[in-house]
């Protein structure tokens, strides 16, 4: 939960990078929330020096945001590592929320896909549940091994719900081991 | 009446509540974007799609303008109520 002063800072940083109509409307909403909070408590309106939001993600570790923008990643997944991963037959794709309409959730990681050269998309992490699930590709992934083409969730024939895994190691120890070696 | 309740009913809090409502309407107005329809109208995939999409874009633009106008009205009414209650001009928005 952000303080009114932090909400004002978030709005200020948001508008430094984005001048769209949505960014202006969202910043206005945050400032209005902050003003209402200060009016109720009787505090003088102020703006914080920083408004950091910390989130923790698989593979990337601790990520720090300001104004909906990533300012720090514990394990930066740089292009070099992706190249090494691809040489090992594994591709990783990250889907980020870039829309200011997401408000305080702007910039958060929505999904991670991991695929192999031989089998296409194999694993998906969902930001809403924070869990991994296995995928089976229909084979039409082309050069996009991580998330190309179409796929289905891997689940036992006698079950309606797919299986969810708390960690990448539980979902696929082989892929997790290879990625951990390259990342660390 | 407790101090807390007095604060909740104060003209300043009422003004800020109205401004928050207006700001949320402006977020809704920003969501009501016709950009997608306009893009599709520029690249029609069947005869007549351009006209259909331009019509839809006009409808969405009208909804957006209505939301913005409602927000402006709420702001203006809240400022007037604050001035009537306190005899002072409403504080600036930022």
Residue B19 to chain A, least CA–CA distance (Å): 6
Residue B42 has pLDDT above 90, yes or no: yes
Specify the pTM: 0.78
Nearest CB partner across the interface for B23, out of A22, A28, A42: A28
User: B47: pLDDT confidence band, cut at 50, 70 and 90?
Assistant: very high
Residue B29 is nearest to which of A25, A32, A39, comparing CB atoms? A25
Residue A100 to chain B, least CA–CA distance (Å):
10
Both tokens of A78, joined, read 């740089």
Flag if B23 and A32 touch (Cβ within 8 Å): yes
Beta-strand ranges (E) seen in chain A are 52-57, 61-66, 69-73, 90-96, 109-116, 120-126, 131-137, 151-153
Q: What is the pLDDT of residues A8-35, one digit of tens each?
A: 999 999 899 888 899 999 999 999 999 9
- Residue A76 φ/ψ, nearest 5 degrees: -60, 125
Percent of chain B whose pLDDT exceeds 90: 84
Give, for all 184 residues of chain A, the pLDDT tens digit: 889 999 999 999 989 988 889 999 999 999 999 999 999 999 999 999 998 989 999 988 899 988 888 888 888 776 667 778 888 899 999 898 888 777 778 888 999 999 999 999 999 999 989 999 999 999 999 999 999 999 998 887 788 888 899 999 999 999 999 888 887 7
Q: Write out the two tokens for B16.
A: 């800020």
d(CA A61, CA A109): 12
Residues of B in Cβ contact (< 8 Å) with A41: 7
- Rounded to whole angstroms, the Cα distance separating A4 from A38 reads 7
Six-digit token string for A29: 């909403």
CA distance B45 to chain A (A): 23
Strand, helix or coil for residue A136: strand
Q: Say if residues A134 and A120 touch (Cβ distance below 8 Å).
A: no
Average pLDDT over residues B34-54: 94
Query: Do A43 and A34 touch, CB atoms closer than 8 A?
Result: no
Cα–Cα distance for residue pair A121/A136, rounded to 1 Å: 7
Contact (CB<8Å) A35/B16? yes
What pLDDT, on the 0 to 100 scale, is given for residue A86? 83
Please report how many Cα atoms fall inside a 13 Å half-sphere around the Cα of residue B39, on the Cβ side: 4
* B54 bridge partner residues: none
What's the rounded Cα separation, in Å, for the pair A111 and A88? 22
pLDDT over 60 at B4, yes or no: no
| Chain B hits for A33, Cβ within 8 Å | 20, 23
Residues of B with Cβ-Cβ distance to A32 under 8 angstroms: 16, 19-20, 22-24
- Say what the pLDDT of residue A31 is: 95
ipTM for the predicted complex comes to 0.85
The DSSP code sequence of A76-122 is: ---HHHHHHHHHTTEEEEEEE---GGGGGGTT-EEEEEEEETTTEEE
């Amino acid at each position: 939960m952000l303080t009114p002063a932090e909400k004002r800072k978030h709005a200020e940083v948001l508008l430094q990078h984005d001048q769209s109509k949505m960014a202006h409307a969202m910043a206005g909403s945050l400032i209005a929330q902050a003003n209402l909070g200060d009016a109720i408590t009787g505090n003088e309106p102020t703006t914080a020096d920083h408004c950091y939001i910390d989130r923790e993600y698989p593979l990337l570790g601790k990520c720090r945001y300001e104004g909906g923008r990533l300012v720090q990643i514990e394990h930066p997944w740089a292009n070099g590592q992706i190249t090494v991963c691809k040489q090992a037959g594994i591709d990783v794709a990250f889907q980020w929320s870039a829309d200011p309409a997401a408000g305080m959730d702007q910039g958060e990681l929505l999904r991670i896909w991991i695929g192999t050269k031989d089998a296409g998309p194999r694993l998906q992490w969902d930001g809403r549940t924070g869990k991994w699930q296995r995928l089976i590709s229909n084979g039409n992934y082309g050069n996009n091994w991580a998330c190309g083409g179409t796929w289905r969730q891997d689940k036992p024939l006698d079950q309606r719900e797919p299986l969810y895994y708390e960690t990448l190691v539980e979902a696929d120890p082989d892929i997790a081991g290879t990625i951990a070696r390259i990342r660390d | 009446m407790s101090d807390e309740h007095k604060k909740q009913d104060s003209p300043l809090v009422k003004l800020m509540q109205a401004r928050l409502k207006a700001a949320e309407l402006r977020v809704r107005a920003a969501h009501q974007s016709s950009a997608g329809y306009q893009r599709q109208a520029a690249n029609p995939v069947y005869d007549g799609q351009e006209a259909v999409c331009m019509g839809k874009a006009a409808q969405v633009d009208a909804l957006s303008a209505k939301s913005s106008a409602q927000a402006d009205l709420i702001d203006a009414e809240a400022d007037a109520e604050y001035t009537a209650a306190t005899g002072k001009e409403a504080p600036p928005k930022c």
